[in-house]
Amino acid sequence: MIDERDRLELWLHYATGTNYKQFAAVREEYYYLDEAWEDVRAGQMGRFTMLDEEGKQRLMEAARDGFMDRYIRWLDKNQINVLTSTSYCYPSLLKEIHDPPAVLFYKGTLNEDMQLPIAVVGTRRCTDYGKEVAKTFGRELVRAGATVVSGLATGIDGYAAVGALSVEDAQDPTVAVLGCGIDVVYPQGNEKLYAAIAERGCVMTEFLPKTRPLPQNFPLRNRIISGLSLGVLVVEAGERSGASITAHLALEQGREVFAIPGRVTDRMSIGTNTLIRRGEAKLVTQVSDILEEFGAAYTSSEPREVNLSSLSPLEQQIVKALLSGEKNDDELMERCDTDIGQLIYTLTELSISGIIKQLPGSVYALDTLQTRIVE
Amino acid sequence: MLSQANSFGLSGLTGFPVKVEADISGGLPAYETVGLPDAAVKESKERVRAALKNSGFLLPPSRITVSLAPANVRKEGSVYDLPIALALLCAQGKIKQAPLTRAIYLGELALNGDVRGVNGVLPMVISARQAGEEVFFVPRENAEEAACVEGARVFPVDNLRGLIAFLQGEGGMEPLPQTVVVPEIGENALDFSYIKGQASAKRAAEIAAAGGHNLLLAGTPGSGKTMLARAMPSILPPMDMAECMEVTKIHSVVGHRGLVTARPYRSPHHGASAVAITGGGSNALPGEISLAHLGVLFLDEFPEFHRDVLESLRQPLEDGVITVSRSKQSCTYPASFMLVAAMNPCPCGNRGSRTKACTCSPAAIHRYVRKISGPLLDRIDLFIEMNDVPFEELTGKGEGESSQVIRQRVTAARQRQHERFGSDSTRLNAQLTIGEMDEFCQLSKPCRDIMERAFQRMELSARAYQRVRKVARTIADLAGSESIQEQHLMEAIRYRSLPILQEEP
Q: How far apart are CA B505 and CA B502, in angstroms?
A: 10
Residue among B87, B258, B51, B59 nearest B162 (CA)? B51
Question: Mean pLDDT over residues B282-309, rounded?
Answer: 91
B358, B360, B457: residue with CB nearest A352:
B457
pLDDT at A323 over 70: yes
Spatial contact of B348 and B358, defined as CB atoms under 8 Å apart: yes
Task: Tell me the pLDDT band of B463, cut-offs 50, 70 and 90.
Answer: low
Query: In the predicted model, what is the mean pLDDT of chain B?
Result: 87
Give percent above pLDDT 70 in chain B. 94
Q: Is A335 on the interface with B (CB under 8 A)?
A: no
Q: Is A351 on the interface with B (CB under 8 A)?
A: yes
How far B216 CA lies from chain A's nearest CA (Å)? 14
Lowest mean pLDDT among A108-112, A178-182, A197-201, A254-258: A108-112
Q: How do residues A201-255 score in pLDDT, each as one tens digit?
A: 999 999 999 999 998 899 999 999 999 999 999 999 998 888 888 999 999 999 9
Looking at chain A, which residue has its C-alpha nearest residue B202? A340
Q: Give me the residues paired with residue A176 across strands.
A: A150, A203
Q: Is A267 on the interface with B (CB under 8 A)?
A: yes
- Which residues lie below 8 Å from residue B459, measured CB to CB, with a gap of 6+? B502
Task: Give the global pTM.
Answer: 0.76
Q: Is B219 left (phi over 0), alpha (psi -120 to 50) or beta?
A: left
Q: What is the pLDDT of residue A52?
A: 84
Q: How do residues A326-353 score in pLDDT, each as one tens digit?
A: 888 888 888 888 888 889 889 988 888 8
Question: Mean pLDDT over residues A170-179, rounded?
Answer: 90
Q: What is the pLDDT of residue B461?
A: 67
Spatial contact of B338 and B214, defined as CB atoms under 8 Å apart: yes
Q: How do residues B376-397 score in pLDDT, each as one tens digit?
A: 888 888 999 888 776 555 555 4
Spatial contact of B137 and B107, defined as CB atoms under 8 Å apart: yes
Q: Is A302 on the interface with B (CB under 8 A)?
A: no
A127, A162, A187: residue with CB nearest B504:
A162
- Phi and psi (nearest 5°) for B237? -65, 150
Task: Tell me the pLDDT band of B505, cut-offs 50, 70 and 90.
Answer: very low
A124, A127, A358: residue with CB nearest B497:
A358
Tell me the residue length of chain B: 505
Provide DSSP, B361-410.
-HHHHHHHHHTS-HHHHTT--EEEE-----HHHHT-------HHHHHHHH
Pairing type for strands B63-69 and B14-25 reads antiparallel
Chain B positions touching A189 (Cβ under 8 A) are 363, 366-367, 370, 505
- As a whole number of Å, the CA-based R_g of chain B is 28
Residue among B359, B354, B366 nearest A238 (CA)? B359
ipTM given for this complex: 0.78
Lowest mean pLDDT among A243-252, A318-327, B178-187, B301-310: B178-187
Bigger pLDDT: B493 or B184? B493
- As a dihedral over the C-alpha atoms of residue B363, residue B366, residue B368, residue B372, rounded to 10 degrees, the angle is -160
B387, B389, B505: residue with CB nearest A162:
B505
How wide is the angle at C-alpha B322 spanned by C-alphas B316 and B327, nearest 5°?
Answer: 140
Q: Is A328 on the interface with B (CB under 8 A)?
A: yes
Q: Which domains can be identified in chain B, with CATH numbers?
A: 2-170 (3.30.230.10), 192-419 (3.40.50.300)
Question: Mean pLDDT over residues A81-107, rounded?
Answer: 88
List, as ranges, residues 39-78 from A with C-beta within 8 Å of B.
none
Residue among B423, B404, B476, B425 nearest B447 (CA)? B476
Q: What is the pLDDT of residue B26?
A: 87
Looking at chain A, which residue has its C-alpha nearest residue B370? A189
Cβ distance of A347 and B494 shorter than 8 Å:
yes
Q: Is A320 on the interface with B (CB under 8 A)?
A: no
How far B422 CA lies from chain A's nearest CA (Å)? 28
Lowest mean pLDDT among B56-60, B362-366, B447-451: B362-366
Q: Is A125 on the interface with B (CB under 8 A)?
A: yes
Q: Give me the residues paired with residue B2 across strands.
A: B23
Q: How do residues B92-120 score in pLDDT, each as one tens digit?
A: 999 999 999 999 999 999 999 999 999 99
**Helix extents (H) in B422-495:** 434-440, 445-457, 464-478, 486-494
Q: Reduced to 3 states, what is the DSSP secondary structure of residue B287? A: coil
Q: How do residues B192-207 score in pLDDT, each as one tens digit?
A: 888 878 888 999 999 9
- Phi and psi (nearest 5°) for B241? -55, -50
Residue type, B244: C
